[in-house]
Structure 1
Amino acid sequence: MKKFRGVFLKNDKEIGLMREANRIVSRILDELGKNVRPGVPTMLFEEICRARCDEYGVRPAFLGYQGFPYALCCSVNEEIVHGFPSRERILEEGDIVSFDMGVVYNGFYGDSARTFGVGEVSAESQKLMDVTRESLYKGIEQAVPGNNLYDISAAIQSYVEGFGFGIVRRFVGHGIGSHLHEKPEIPNFVPKGISGIPLKAGMVLAIEPMVTVGTHEVEVLDDKWTAVTKDGKLSAHFEHTIAVTSDGPRILSLSE
């Protein structure tokens, strides 16, 4: 493993291990999505995650990370990220729910997130999810050697703001590898007065736009983890782990 400006560059073998870690994450997210429906307690999704980690022989990446008490981040409606699964929180028709899941496979991390609608959702909720997901792919398109890191950020920001939605500033994407969070940070907006680094083959990045209907301002609840929109409006979250290669970006967090 080499380093470039503080960023670990992965070789083909390491990227292969990360592909398998992320494939497992994607399969778990597939199953979670199939179980999203009104009347379901969000703890069901935590139970699925733990059972599948046992089945695949992997370790949940988030469980115990800096004290986080669950394997799954489960965030409903105005909850942006780091929400707790609960037996008391029951999904209702029209909710949207975001799942952020990670595993460790042979010493390397996988990390991905998706937002799902519960039953029939409003046109605004569907638009929010669609724009957030598409902004992720707009960012991924820019993940090519020779581009600047902030080309990813600019593509996401331009697309999201073009629809009048807000972009969360407090939480950003990140490098990933043998650690869950590595350099560089990947904002979903272009920071002022800071130069981004050039992208290089071998970088592996977790790109994750978090988009809101209203303000980008965030509050953290008393549990010290759950981040919500300050105005109480909806938020969506999508994330892929990708490898920067000489042939273009390679999405690692796909099921097949």
Structure 2
Amino acid sequence: MLNDEFTAVLESYKLQGYIIPHPSIVKTPEQIEGIRQSGKITSAILDLLEKEIRPGVTTAGIDKLVYDYTTEHGAIPAPLNYNGFPRSVCTSVNNVVCHGIPSDRAVLKPGDIINVDVSTILDGFFSDASRMYLVGEVTPSARRLVEITKECLELGTEQVRAFGATNDIGRAIEPFANRNGYTVVRDLGGHGVGVKFHEEPHIDHFERPGKGFLMLPGMVFTIEPMINEGGYSVKIGRDKWTVTTRDGSLSAQWEYTVAVTKTGYEILAR
């Protein structure tokens, strides 16, 4: 499509209420390949942790595993020293929604659920993904929260398509979460990623009016629903990082880095 024709198409979408992305956040094939290679390291770390997370492990131990694997593969842990964050990975246990700081004092015990959020810089390209892990035997209710949250992620990801609306992601996630008795965190969301750690667009995981951003081939962003057993309200701890549920209920999160393609989407980190 010629540039003037494409401009006319974008203008027609703008008139329909879409936010038109700035051209700078649409990645070239070469940039997407760089993000894809970064994502391979992120995904491999999450695979590694499947075998390492168990009762008695500290979250600082998880952090060391992430740091060592990342640097041994020629990459950099993106969280380390990012806006003062002191560790290489986020470890969020039970009622911690996100951004939990690894600690030697935080020892995993049977029944815990933990989200590990891995972000990698390889040759200047960023990827970002997280998974939930069950520590020993967990309660049926905790297991169900983790499973439903993964389904929320999959439902949101299925909305990704060229010339779709980013707000369709939240419109798919929140009703499903609510039907299953859960709430969706509203104060945090997904984000563009690739040549920076955080870029446009912001991705809401709950229902919002309007269409949001127009999804164009080459856009790359995270989908990372945070689902609570109780209310959706959260609070930030004294460390200025750790986000917990305000009512103390359990929370779970899964995250992909996703690229919009001409025919749908590609998961670059999972």
Superposition deviation, residue 82 in structure 1:
0.5
Q: What residue in structure 2 maps to residue 25 of structure 1?
A: 42
Q: Output one character per residue of 1:69-96: Cα deviation in whole Å (capped at 9) or x when no partner.
A: 1111001000010101111111111000
Q: What residue in structure 2 maps to residue 198 of structure 1?
A: 214
CA contact (8 A) 1:6 1:183 kept: no
Superposition deviation, residue 7 in structure 1:
5.7
Q: What residue in structure 2 maps to residue 136 of structure 1?
A: 153
Q: Output one character per residue of 1:87-142: Cα deviation in whole Å (capped at 9) or x when no partner.
A: 11111110001100101111110100111110111111111111111111111111
Segments of structure 2 that go 5 or more residues without pairing to the other structure are 1-19
Amino acid at match of 1:245: T
Mapped to 2, the partners of 1:195 and 1:138 lie a distance apart of 17
Aligned length: 251
Change (3 A) 1:139 1:149: same
CA contact (8 A) 1:150 1:190 kept: yes
Amino acid at match of 1:220: I
Amino acid at match of 2:199: E
Structure with the bigger percentage of helix: 2
Identity over aligned pairs, percent: 38
Mapped to 2, the partners of 1:172 and 1:4 lie a distance apart of 18
Superposition deviation, residue 190 in structure 1:
2.1
Mapped to 1, the partners of 2:129 and 2:218 lie a distance apart of 19
Superposition deviation, residue 154 in structure 1:
0.8
Q: What residue in structure 2 maps to residue 70 of structure 1?
A: 87
Q: What residue in structure 1 maps to residue 201 of structure 2?
A: 184
Select 1:170's aligned residue among 180, 187, 193: 187
Select 2:53's aligned residue among 36, 61, 71: 36
User: Given the alignment of the two structures, is residue 158 of structure 1 paired with residue 175 of structure 2, yes or no?
Assistant: yes
* Secondary structure of 1:252's aligned partner: strand
Mapped to 2, the partners of 1:249 and 1:89 lie a distance apart of 37
CA contact (8 A) 1:7 1:184 kept: no
TM-score with structure 2 length normalisation?
A: 0.90
Mapped to 1, the partners of 2:24 and 2:206 lie a distance apart of 20
CA-based RMSD of the aligned residues comes to 1.3
Q: What residue in structure 1 maps to residue 244 of structure 2?
A: 228
Mapped to 2, the partners of 1:76 and 1:253 lie a distance apart of 22
Superposition deviation, residue 5 in structure 1:
3.5
Mapped to 2, the partners of 1:124 and 1:138 lie a distance apart of 21
TM-score with structure 1 length normalisation?
A: 0.95
* Secondary structure of 1:169's aligned partner: coil
Segments of structure 1 that go 5 or more residues without pairing to the other structure are none
